[in-house]
């Protein structure tokens, strides 16, 4: 017997290419579908309605939280789940959601789910984190923020093994950046969260110098969430690397140590910066640290599991080969191959060492 009911609440615009895929992937576990359309000119609303959704119009006011809060206000089930149109639940995660609905007792105010954003050639997640994805309707939780909005929650929380898979079909637009620039033009004072996400938008649009300035402003304010502080250092390092200022990139990565012990992601990034400079002993040190440093401060962290497994082995293969230590290079190649045998670079190395007669 299912113990709870769930309303799926989504805000959409011109999503005719993906809306059916999203709804079909989850509808077996959903009791009500709420679609809030913010101005579609394609068949999005028609497709959603054909799949049983209740469709509402919402005049777009450049405020994502306002639209999401409106969608939540239309829900009538015990719990509310939210997705974006280019998200899906894989069959195994749909099964986990159905199982969750039968969990007894079910007295949680919020349930987190993994969010898998990027994948390797084998379909394994390379970038993921957790989000509050299912919330009790009676708690009246609200979304906050015009852009890069977040759901403000509290109370009893359950960290589920359900994963939402992001299957982006379209390239990034200027929409979010334009909202931030308009707010800045109007003289609005940005919160620390706004500073961080504005810097991210600038970085994503290759405006690296400006991004660095906003990351620094965010970090100097000392009011950000620790995970955002860590990410800001890492992303600032990426900006410096793109500007060919690798010494400053290294300093930015080392700045993460103000907030956390070494993490695989940053050890791997440091290794890559040194590898680019052909400083193989230093690169080897940091890739080795990536393999031996596997813990994060919280499961809510942004992280790439590959930086703690096969990727450092792949790069250690290169480092040891360049230093003339073929035995060590082959050993790391074997370990990389055992973890990700079909990666093109690993296949290339396999053929390379077979031709040399050392494999």
**Counted domains in the chain:** 3
Among 233, 260, 287, the domain-final residue is: 260
Q: Quick one: 247 and 298 in the same domain?
A: no
- The pLDDT tens digits of the residues spanning 51-69 come to 999 999 999 999 999 999 9
Confidence of residue 124 (pLDDT cuts 50, 70, 90): confident
What CATH number does the domain containing 151 carry? 3.90.550.10
Residue 119 falls within a domain, yes or no? yes
Cis peptide before 79 (omega within 30 of 0): no
**Residue 348, token pair as written in the block:** 């290339």
Residue 107 falls within a domain, yes or no? yes
Are 319 and 312 in contact by the 8 Å Cβ rule? The answer is: no
Sign of CA dihedral 301, 303, 309, 314: negative
Among 166, 190, 220, the domain-final residue is: 166
Say what the pLDDT of residue 281 is. Answer: 97
Length of the chain: 359
* Average pLDDT of span 18-33: 98
Q: What is the mean pLDDT of the chain?
A: 93
Tell me which DSSP letter residue 341 carries.
T
Confidence of residue 168 (pLDDT cuts 50, 70, 90): confident
Residue 326 falls within a domain, yes or no? yes
Confidence of residue 123 (pLDDT cuts 50, 70, 90): confident
Residue 68: its H or E element: helix 64-73
Q: Quick one: 299 and 252 in the same domain?
A: no
Residue 142 has pLDDT above 70, yes or no: yes
Q: Which of 258-267, 285-294, 333-342 has maximum average pLDDT?
A: 333-342
Q: Quick one: 242 and 283 in the same domain?
A: no
State pTM to two decimals.
Answer: 0.83
Cis peptide before 105 (omega within 30 of 0): yes
Q: Quick one: 143 and 41 in the same domain?
A: yes
Q: Quick one: 249 and 268 in the same domain?
A: no
* Average pLDDT of span 116-133: 85
Among 213, 235, 260, the domain-final residue is: 260
Q: Quick one: 200 and 124 in the same domain?
A: no
Residue 1 has pLDDT above 60, yes or no: no
Residue 353 structural domain: 264-359
77 φ, ψ to 5°? -85, 175
What CATH number does the domain containing 210 carry? 1.25.40.10
Q: Quick one: 14 and 106 in the same domain?
A: yes
**Residue 55, token pair as written in the block:** 């469709």
Confidence of residue 297 (pLDDT cuts 50, 70, 90): very low
Residue 169 has pLDDT above 90, yes or no: no
* Average pLDDT of span 114-137: 88
Helix axes 310-322, 264-276, angle to 10 degrees: 30
Say what the pLDDT of residue 303 is. Answer: 72
End-to-end CA distance of the chain: 57
- The pLDDT tens digits of the residues spanning 82-101 come to 999 999 999 999 999 999 99
Residue 294 falls within a domain, yes or no? yes
- The pLDDT tens digits of the residues spanning 145-164 come to 999 999 999 999 999 999 99
Residue 269 has pLDDT above 50, yes or no: yes
Q: Quick one: 197 and 256 in the same domain?
A: yes
Say what the pLDDT of residue 120 is. Answer: 77
Considering the chain, what percentage of its residues have pLDDT values greater than 90?
85
């Amino acid at each position: 017997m299912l113990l709870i009911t769930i309303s799926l609440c989504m805000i959409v615009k011109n999503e005719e290419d993906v809306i059916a895929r999203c709804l079909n992937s989850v509808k077996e576990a959903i009791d009500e579908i709420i679609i809030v359309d913010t101005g579609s000119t394609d068949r999005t609303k028609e497709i959603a309605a054909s799949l049983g959704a209740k469709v509402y119009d919402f005049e777009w006011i450049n405020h994502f939280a306002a639209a999401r809060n409106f969608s939540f206000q239309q829900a009538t089930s015990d719990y509310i789940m939210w997705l974006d149109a280019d998200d899906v639940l894989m069959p195994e995660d749909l099964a986990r959601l159905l199982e969750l609905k039968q969990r007894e007792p079910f007295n949680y105010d919020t349930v987190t789910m993994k969010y898998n954003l990027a994948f390797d050639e084998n379909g394994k997640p390379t970038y993921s984190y957790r989000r509050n994805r299912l919330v009790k309707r009676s708690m009246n939780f609200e979304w906050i923020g015009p852009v890069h909005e977040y759901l403000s929650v509290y109370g009893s929380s359950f960290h589920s093994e359900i994963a939402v898979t992001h299957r982006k079909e379209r390239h990034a637009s200027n929409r979010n950046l334009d909202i931030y620039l308009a707010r800045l033009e109007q003289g609005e004072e940005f919160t620390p969260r706004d500073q961080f996400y504005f810097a991210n938008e600038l970085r994503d649009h290759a405006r690296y110098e400006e991004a660095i300035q906003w990351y620094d402003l965010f970090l100097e304010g000392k009011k950000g969430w620790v995970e955002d502080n860590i990410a800001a250092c890492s992303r600032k390092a990426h900006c410096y690397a793109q500007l060919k200022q690798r010494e400053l990139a290294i300093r930015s990565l080392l700045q993460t140590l103000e907030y956390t012990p070494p993490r695989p992601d940053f050890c791997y990034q440091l290794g890559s910066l040194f590898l680019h400079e052909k400083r193989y002993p230093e690169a080897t040190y940091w890739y080795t640290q990536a393999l031996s440093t596997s813990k994060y401060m919280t499961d809510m962290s942004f992280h790439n599991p590959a930086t703690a497994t096969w990727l450092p082995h792949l790069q250690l293969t290169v480092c040891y080969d360049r230093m003339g230590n073929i035995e060590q290079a082959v050993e790391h190649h074997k370990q990389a191959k055992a973890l990700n045998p079909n990666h093109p670079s690993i296949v290339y190395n396999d053929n390379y060492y077979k031709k040399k007669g050392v494999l």
